[in-house]
Amino acid sequence: MKLIRRAEIISFKELLQEYPSYMSNANRLLPLGELMAKRWTDEDLIKRENLSPASVNKHLTAIHAMFAYGLVNEKVSANPASMVKVINASGGTTRDRSFTDDQASKILASI
């Protein structure tokens, strides 16, 4: 079995971000590599929008859950998807939800 690393999960996430949101049945049957190569030459695929951030997150969540299950059941030694950030609706990565020192000082001063 091939070892899957975090870099490969990130590459997959980047591929998903370029994946067309809708395809003809003929294109759906293509292997992923062929489909992504065709993405920039096929008129039908060029005009299609990419998957939404929510769809990309759904796929990443499934991969994370699969590796988490393997980790709990001692099938894998690590979860390479655990440190891959999901994307938010604006297309960026999720932001840190903690307060800065300045924000925390202002909050505590107001109490």
Domain coordinates in residue numbering, the chain: 6-109
- What's 65-90 look like in SS3? HHHHHHHHCCCCCCCCCCCCCCECCC
Question: Is-above-0.75 flag for pTM?
Answer: no
Q: What is the pLDDT of residues 43-101, one digit of tens each?
A: 767 777 888 888 888 888 888 899 899 889 888 888 888 878 776 766 555 555 667 77
